[in-house]
Every structure is written in C-alpha cells, then in structure tokens.
Amino acid sequence: MTRHPIVTALMLTSLPASFPLSGTAQESTSPVFGVALPPGYRDWQFISVAHEAGNNNDIRGILGNDIAMKALKEGKLPFPDGSIIVRLAYEYVASDRNNAIFGREQSFVAGAPTNVQVEVKDSKRYASTGGWGYGQFENGKANPSAKIINSCFACHAKLPAAADQVFTTYSK
Amino acid sequence: MTRHPIVTALMLTSLPASFPLSGTAQESTSPVFGVALPPGYRDWQFISVAHEAGNNNDIRGILGNDIAMKALKEGKLPFPDGSIIVRLAYEYVASDRNNAIFGREQSFVAGAPTNVQVEVKDSKRYASTGGWGYGQFENGKANPSAKIINSCFACHAKLPAAADQVFTTYSK
C-alpha cells in the first residue's frame, strides 16, 4: 500500500483533549495509518488469548473496546466504525515456581511485555486497507517502521473475508 | 481442611436478588465453599494469560472484579475482602488457519471452554483456608466434587505467602 502522511496530520487535529500526546507525533502514532494507543485500553474487556511460538514466542491477551465487544458478542461482523482491538503480547516464560508446585514442567506464563498492536476500524479513513488502520507500540511508543506496519495489513488481509481482518474470535 | 456445609446455606440466604440461581443449589455453588459464578464476570478486566500443558493442556485468561483489579494495579496484597478472581480455561488448539497464513507451525489459540475457576476473598467466611473460597464450573454448573474443590486450596496454599494464594500477577 502507499503511505498516507496526511492521515497523521488529520489524527492530530481531531484528537480529543484528553488524549495523552506526550512526545512527538512520531512517538505517539504509527506510520502509514496514524494510529495512537487508545486511552484506557488496558481496562477493556477480554476477547481471547493465544500463544505464538516461532520468532514471536509470546503469549497474548486480546481486548476490545465497547463497540468491538458488542459486535463480537452479537456475532455481527464486519465490525462497525469505531471498533478498536488491542493485542497485548508478553514474553512466553516457563514458570519455575508453578512447575515446582505442580510437580511437573507444564506452566507457561506472561513475562515482560513485548509490544501492543492496535487495529482501528474507520471505513472512510482506511478505505484502501479494508477499513482498518494498524499500529504497533513498544513501551508506549509507536514503532516507526513503515515496513512493519505495512506487514500488519498484508497479513490480516489474508484472512477469510468473513473474519473482517481480525484473527481473534470471542471466547465465551 | 474440614467441610463447612453451613457455608452453602449462608451463601444462599445472603445472595443479592440479581444473582442467577437457576437449577439446584448444588448446581449453582461449589461444594465445601459455596462459591457461585459471579454475575457479569466475563466482562471483568484482564489480569493476565497462561498456558498449562500436561493434563490440563489449556490456555487461559484470568480476569478480576474491580476490588481485585485495584489491589493488583496498586500492588497492595493481601487482597481485600470482596476480591474475586476468575480463571477462564479453553482447549489449547493449534490454528491451522493461522499457520497457513504465517507459513509455519506457530499459532495456538483458545478452543472450546473447559472450565471456569473462581476464587473469592472473604477473610471471615473462609478463615480456615487463608481467606479464600474456591469453585469450579463447567458449562455454568458447579463441579460437585469436594475432592476437586479441596485440591484448589491445597495447591494455592503452596504459593509463597506474599502471593496471597493467587498464582497470577498483573501483566501491564
């Protein structure tokens, strides 16, 4: 996809006053899409969990804002505009403490945070990428790599159309 | 530990009117502790994730009510009375769909729910088990096995005192 530098400027002028814009715009928003870390995302509701082995080797929780959760619970996809999904990834760590208690090597827990990925639905702003904008954040700062951010869309676009570019389904 | 059948009766008489008491008391509350599935727990905030291999072979999300979350975020343990922690476990499933997209065998996701475990802090009611009562639920019904429920306390009691019988720590 092509970059849309104007998106960043639009985001900055339309942000609510409560938005925590510390540092530069580059630190706060993703390249290509201009996606910021949504305020309060850590307190959002739980969608599901996953473990990615391989290069990531992480364990992750996936949360959604109210708009996304309503769509997921009602099974009404595609997601409406305003839906935001965040994926919190952590180092995949064997728990020596738990294994000692359980008497076998079986327990893997979340270690230090690795990164947070954010997916924002805005069918007009992100029309050229199926209605979704993407961002990745380490220690609260946007990863500045356009290559990484473009790979988000490239990968999510491989999902079946019914998934609406979201890997995770709601776990009851 | 000894059983406290009176606890079940106390729980039933002190439940708020909104509590979903369908079926018999035996189906709604755990043996030994009389712990019920707390209303709305699925919408609670996210504490962390884990994978238990071995006999469980599950992947799990751990959620907390507002009282528990406040204590966890502020790092103020032991947990105050009223804290409730729920652990939602799901079958640990390799995702063929994701692996095909990623081009390697790396993705494990949550399958069907296996069970929900609940830990309730009430330092008076559960004084003989360190202030915590336990329950396990399959398909919304309390597991009736006193042996299983007693094993909850036996295992959690092996944690260091500073953990206050809670395996999970808050993931930022």
Report the pLDDT averaged over residues A61-85.
98
Cα–Cα distance for residue pair A105/A110, rounded to 1 Å: 16
Chain B residues whose CB is inside 8 A of the A88 CB are 46, 171
Residue B28, token pair as written in the block: 């709604």
Q: A51 and B51: CB-CB below 8 Å? A: yes
Report the pLDDT value the prediction gives residue B25, as an integer from 0 to 100: 66
B51 pLDDT above the threshold of 70: yes
Residue of B42, B46, B115 to mutate, testing the A interface (most A Cβ within 10 Å of its Cβ): B46
Query: Looking at the predicted structure, is the pLDDT value of residue B116 above 50?
Result: yes
Residues of A in contact with B97 (CB under 8 A): 159-160
Q: Is the confidence at residue B15, as pLDDT, over 90? A: no
ipTM score assigned to the predicted complex: 0.86
pLDDT at B14: 40
From its phi and psi, is residue A2 left (phi > 0), alpha (psi between -120 and 50) or beta?
A: beta
Instruction: Give the mean model confidence (pLDDT) for residues A10-26.
Output: 46
Evaluate if residue B12 carries a pLDDT over 50.
no
pLDDT, position B38: 98
- Transcribe B37-71 into DSSP letters: PPTTGGGSEEEEEEEE-TTT-EEEEEEE-HHHHHH
